[in-house]
Structure 1
Amino acid sequence: MATPIGGVRFEAGGRTRSLRFTTNALCMAEEALDKRVIEIATELEMGVGVRTLRTLFWAGGDDQQATMAQVGDLIDEIGVRKATELALDAFAAAFPVTEGKGGGEANPQ
């Protein structure tokens, strides 16, 4: 389910969590993965790697103090397929489609 703040909410670990790709979260993901946002977006669309998925949940998750191992455990709890769907939804929310000269294209740079 989309949130008004441009992310998604989901249940895991007995509580409601969120995944949101703010500018800072995207920078953290780029740095950790040594990939540009457009490369991450392409990977999400074409079939995301587990390392990328875990990094995205770490960078965009609501607990930046979590270790990568804890983030991996969280993904194990909800399942890789569900985690991938959530990451796609959160990424789409970070880059909403805008009408105008571009003809309604999203703008992940």
Structure 2
Amino acid sequence: MKIGTGAMCAIEAETGKNISEVGTALSDPKAASLTLMRTVFWGALQHRHEGTTIRECDDLIDEIGIQRTGELIGKAFKLAFPKKEGGSRPRKATAV
């Protein structure tokens, strides 16, 4: 999984929300939805697994579980938006 520019654009296009809104919604149990989680999971898979379908994402989520899916998405978001350390440039985003 990788939430890079391409994934962010795909996720925004699918959800109608900007990536900041998506991240905020996923971190709020009252705003998060399974549909949003699946869409982010799908978008994050496209970099290394281009053409993965929503149905395939459903099967993967069923296999690894919703909690693990959420953990992986959280990790991918942290890698996509690393915190600056001591004013240095952010690291290059890496894949989960």
TM-score > 0.5, shorter chain as reference:
yes
Gaps of 5+ in 2: 88-96
User: Using CA pairs below 8 Å that are at least 6 residues apart, which structure has the higher relative contact order?
Assistant: 2
CA–CA separation in structure 2 for the residues paired with 1:44 and 1:99? 25
Q: Which has the higher strand share?
A: 1
Aligned residues: 83
Match of 2:67 among 81, 89, 97: 81
- Please, what TM-score do these two structures have when normalized by structure 1? 0.71
Unpaired stretches in structure 1, ≥5 consecutive residues: 1-18, 102-109
- Whether the aligned pair in 2 keeps the contact of 1:20 and 1:94 (CA below 8 Å) is yes
2:32 matches 1:70: no
| CA deviation map 1:55-99 (0-9, x unaligned) | 111111132312111111101100001100110110011000003
Q: Among residues 36, 42, 46, which one is paired with 2:18 in the alignment? A: 36
Tell me if structure 2 keeps the 8 A contact 1:54–1:71: yes
| Aligned-pair identity (%) | 35
TM-score, normalised with respect to structure 2: 0.80
TM-align CA RMSD: 1.3
